[in-house]
Amino acid sequence: MTGSADQRMAKLYFYYASMNAGKSTNLLQVDFNYRERGMQTMLYTAAVHDRSGFGVIDSRIGVQASAHSYDGETDLRAQIEAELKKRLLGCVLVDEAQFLTRPQVLQLASVCDELDIPVLAYGLRTDFQGNLFEGSGALLALADALIELKAVCECGRKATMNLRVDEEGRAVKRGAQTEIGGNDRYIALCRPLHGAPQSRRGAAAVEAEVRAPALEWVHVPKKWEPLSRVAMPPGRWRPNPGDCAP
């Protein structure tokens, strides 16, 4: 590369959110935008994320794309440099970026700084216990731009946390940090609902209500009463506003 540092425009972006905020959809849209303008991209996804197949970035709206896979041993900088010998790259896009290691985030930063290629990373900020992933923590510390994508809690507030549930729909508070799953294993919630298992209902009850197959419920001061199916779709939970009061 030639030119002074202030002429280099490439940045490292971190798009973070809870589950079901459209991270992969956003990534695939950006990929389409680049390719529509005749610019080539390089896509990555975590090898551990194989819900739709190995090396596939998928979205809830049905759009998907093939991608390079990485694990903790992958040298991203070396792979990107090797790809540059074959073709020009307009952008590098990384899905499931929470699974990056800190050294890999540093490699991506060097791709921006030394190769002048923008890198857009998409991932979860925290795990089901509210703890940072290694990759997310490194990106929050090192990225040039932090962009929060919004998801909506069942109560209507912004969902920032990820609740893990078991096969019975009960909240899981302990276990391995990484367990791949979709809507069957995780629910995006606001912090008050995620972190209040000792409240009037708690996270486990929230999940039971979300999964209720036949009736919808509305909270009144002393009990739960059935609500007309016309008012809400089947199985949807109506929150008690008091649980999420600012």
- Catalytically active residues are 96
Distance CA(166)–CA(204), nearest Å, equals 10
Q: How far is CA 16 from CA 12, 76, 101, 184, in A?
A: 13, 20, 16, 21
Phi, psi of 2 (to 5 degrees): -120, 165
Distance CA(223)–CA(240), nearest Å, equals 11
Task: Give the closest residue to 111 by CA, choosing from 56, 44, 35, 65.
Answer: 44
The dihedral built from the CA positions of residue 175, 177, 180 and 181, taken in this order, carries a sign that is positive
